[in-house]
Amino acid sequence: MKIRSLILYSFISSIFLFSLISIWKILSTLQGIDLKNFNFAIILSLGIGISLINLVIGDKLNNYVKSIVFASFFTLIDGFIIQNMPIWYNIGVFGIIIFYSFKIDKYNQKNLELEHSSQSVLFEFLTLFGIVLFSFVILFPFYMMIVTSFKTQAALLINPLDFSINFAQDIKELFKSYFVIFDTYKFGRYILISTFVSVGTVIITLIFAIPAAYAVARLNFFGKNFLSTSILIIYMFPAIVLVIPLYTVFSQLGLRNNVGGLLIVYTATTLPVAIYMLQGYFKSIPKELEEAAIMDKLNWFGIIIKIILPLSIPAISSVALYVFMIAWNEFLFSLMFLDNPNSFTLSRAIQYLSGDAETPRQYLMAGSVVVTIPVLFIFVYFEKYLVSGLTAGSVKG
């Protein structure tokens, strides 16, 4: 057995165990449990001990029996060090050790003697470590957003780490923040405006982009190459450099505080990427189909409606979803163009809410949940289309 592999194996697996236990402790703390210490040294030595015993036992004991023995042993010691923990905490620890024992089960003395075994061990545990850490870091803010929206300011002042939700209380109390933002802050109206603006942007963008993309993909005309490059270059220019001239012109034309003005700007800013994405797809449609259509005396309009559109439903859907997402999430232009609370979009409304220092933070988070949920839902449901949209639209910040 290589000594280097042995050390790496026991050390890295215990670090992994420590990180799992620590994350569990953090989450438990946020349920209002009084935990003060990660007990780094103790957990690490326990982990090293378990991983070494695992090597010694090897295949002599059934995997399940082994895991349960390890888990009970660890949970007992952990329970002895930090006493008076609720039972669910100990069950969680038990579960983590079961998971951990299954992960280290495949290592035995023979295994560690193989060539590159130390590297394999390293890679394997770093992968596990990475999965756990990445999920935690990404999901944690979303988790906090949701649980904060169910708390009250007073409860958070008493114990800023207690995010446990009391499901026993009245449903009206539980969803109080949501009732307040819909009643007092007119969020129902903002949802409608945001939906109207986003769906409107999608429709107008498609109406403008499909013919233009078809022309770029199929037809020959003077300045075609110039146009395709400028589409990309224009797309790189940020909203912030457009803001001042648009603000002045829109003020003078009376287009500020007007959802129509927002629609124009959103359409114009998403058009380049929509054209870029669509023309790439149109190019992949076999030309023979159109040649047959020309024989049948179909004009360009007919070709687009009868041949191109039905064949490019997937591409159009991904463009539509992508544009919807951009319009729904957009903030800068809605900040610049809207200052009348009657015409706010959701993003602008939340920013307006936060401008008042008196606003309790659970309202802010309830608003954030309301604006986030539709996008994440659409994303998860239509992931296939959206991912291809994101990849093709690549350059959008």
Partner 1 sequence: MSDTLSKIEKRTAYILLLPAVFLVFSIILFPIFANVWISFKEVGLKDIRIPEPRAKKIVKSIKDSSDEIKIIYKLRNSSLILDIRDVKFQDKIPKNVEPVNLDERCQFKSNIINCNFGNWKAKYKENFQIILKNKKGEKINKKEIKSIKPKLSGKSDNILLNTNFTLKNFKKVFFQNEFFDLLMTTFYYTFFGTIGSIVFGILAAQLVNQKFFGRTFMRSILLFPYVGPVVALAYTWELLLDPYSGTLNNLLLNFQVIQEPLNLLGQKYLTINFFGFDLKLRLALTTVIIFEIWRYFPLAFLFILARLQAVPKELYEAADVDGAGPVQKFVSITLPQITAVISILFMIRFIWNFNKFEDIFLLTGGASGTRTLPINVYEQGFTISDIGMGSAVSIVIVALLLVFMFVYFRLLGKRADEN
Per CB under 8 A, which of residues 117..176 are in contact with partner 1?
119-120, 122-123, 127, 130-131, 134-135, 137-139, 141-142, 144-145, 148, 156-157, 160-161, 163
356-395 binders of partner 1 (CB under 8 A)? 361, 364-365, 367-369, 371-372, 375-376, 379-380, 383, 386-387, 390-391, 394-395
Q: How far is the CB of 150 from partner 1 (least distance, A)?
A: 14
In this chain, which of 1, 23, 26, 55 binds partner 1, going by CB under 8 A? 26
Residue nearer to partner 1 on the CB measure, 23 or 55: 23
How many residues of this chain bind partner 1 (CB under 8 A)?
103
Here the tokens at position 88 are 């669910």
Looking at residues 306 to 335 of the shown chain, list those that interact with partner 1 (rule: CB under 8 A): 325, 328-329, 331-332
Binding of partner 1 at residue 300 (CB under 8 A)? yes
The interface with partner 1 within residues 240-259 (CB under 8 A) comprises: 240-249, 251-252
The 3-class secondary structure across the chain, one letter per residue, is CCHHHHHHHHHHHHHHHHHHHHHHHHHHHCECCCCCCCCHHHHHHHHHHHHHHHHHHHHHCCHHHHHHHHHHHHHHHHHHHCCCCCHHHHHHHHHHHHHHHHHHHCCCCCHHHCCCHHHHHHHHHHHHHHHHHHHHHHHHHHHHHHHHHCCCHHHHHHCCCECCCCCCCCHHHHCHHHHHHHHCCCHHHHHHHHHHHHHHHHHHHHHHHHHHHHHHHHCCCCCHHHHHHHHHHHHHCCCHHHHHHHHHHHHHHCCCCCHHHHHHHHHHHHHHHHHHHHHHHHHCCCHHHHHHHHHCCCCHHHHHHHHHHHHCHHHHHHHHHHHHHHHHHCCHHHHHHCCCHHHCCHHHHHHHHHHCCCCCHHHHHHHHHHHHHHHHHHHHHCHHHHHHHHHHHCCCC
Which residues in the 63-92 window bind partner 1 by CB under 8 A? none
- Give 57 or 212: the residue with its C-beta nearer to partner 1: 212
* Least distance from partner 1 to the Cβ atom of residue 122, Å: 8
User: Taking the complex as a whole, how short is the minimal distance between the CB of residue 170 and partner 1, in angstroms?
Assistant: 26
CB closer to partner 1 out of 70 and 328: 328
| Encoded tokens for 371 | 């604006």
| Cβ distance to partner 1 smaller for residue 1 or 227 | 227
37 touches partner 1 (CB under 8 A): yes
| 256 to 295: interface string for partner 1, x by CB under 8 A | --------xx-xxx-xx--x--------------------
CB of 236 to partner 1, least distance (A): 6
Please report whether residue 219 would count as binding partner 1 according to CB under 8 A.
Answer: yes
- The least distance separating partner 1 from the CB of residue 245, rounded to whole angstroms, comes to 4
Among the candidate windows 86-94, 176-184, 207-215, 305-313, which touches partner 1 by CB under 8 A? 207-215
